[in-house]
Amino acid sequence: MKHFIYIVLTFLLISCADKTKETQQREELIQETANSNYNPEAKLDSLGIELRDQGVPIANYQHVVGAGNLLFLAGKGPKQANGEYMIGKLGDSLTVEQGYQAAREAGINQLSVLKAELGNLNKVKRIVSAHGMVNASPDFTDHSKVINGFSDLMVEVFGENGKHARAAVGMVSLPVGMAVEIEMVVEVYE
C-alpha cells in the first residue's frame, strides 16, 4: 500500500511540475510578444481608437464563447460611439466607402469585446477568420470592398497576426437595418 501511495504522490508531483512548466512557458511567450514589435494595445492608442462598452446581449446569446485557445465572437454591427447604428443598404442608400466605414466600426466593436474578455489585446495570437455580412441590394457586387474596412483594421492593429480567412456575403436585410454585421474567430495565447 505504501508503494502505491508513493507512486501516486510521485505522479502528482510530476504532473504539477509539468503544469508549472507549461504555465511558465505560456507567460514567457506572452512576455516575449509584449517585448517585440507586436503590441496591439499601443497600436490602438497610436490610431486614436477608443474601445466601447458593449453592454449585455439583448437576446439569448453571449458576446464571446471560448473553446480551447479559440474565441468565437458573436456578430457585431456598426454601432457608433454615439450609440447609433450605421444603417442602410449597400448599392441603394449607402456607397462602398460608407460601407467600408461601417465595417470598420463593427471591427472596433469586436475589438471592444476582445478587450473586455481578455483584459489585454496583447493576448491575441492571431485573428483566425471573419464572416462579414453586408446589407445589400440584389445587384450589389462589391461585398469584399465593404468588409475590407474590418480586415484592414485587424491588420492595422495586429500586423501580420491580423490577416485572416474570411467570407463577405450579401444579405437581403440585417437587424435594425444595419449596414453590416461581422462575426469572428480569434486564437489566443493559452
Burial of residue 80 (CB within 10 Å: 0-12, 13-18, 19+) is middle
The neighbour count for residue 54, using CB atoms within 10 Å, is 17
Query: Which pLDDT score is estimated for 18?
Result: 57
**Which cell numbers in the block locate residue 180?**
453590416
9 within 8 A of 17, measured Cβ to Cβ: no
Residues 24, 132: Cα–Cα separation, whole Å: 37
Rg (CA), the chain: 21
76 within 8 A of 131, measured Cβ to Cβ: no
107 within 8 A of 149, measured Cβ to Cβ: yes
What angle separates helix 143-158 from helix 96-118, to the nearest 10 degrees?
Answer: 40
| Residue found under cell 466605414 | 101
Residues 184, 169: Cα–Cα separation, whole Å: 14
Q: What is the pLDDT along the chain (190 residues), one digit of tens a residue?
A: 666 565 655 555 565 555 566 666 555 555 554 446 899 999 999 999 999 999 999 899 999 999 999 999 999 999 999 999 999 999 999 999 999 999 999 999 999 999 999 999 999 999 999 999 999 999 999 999 999 999 999 999 999 999 999 999 999 999 999 999 999 999 999 8
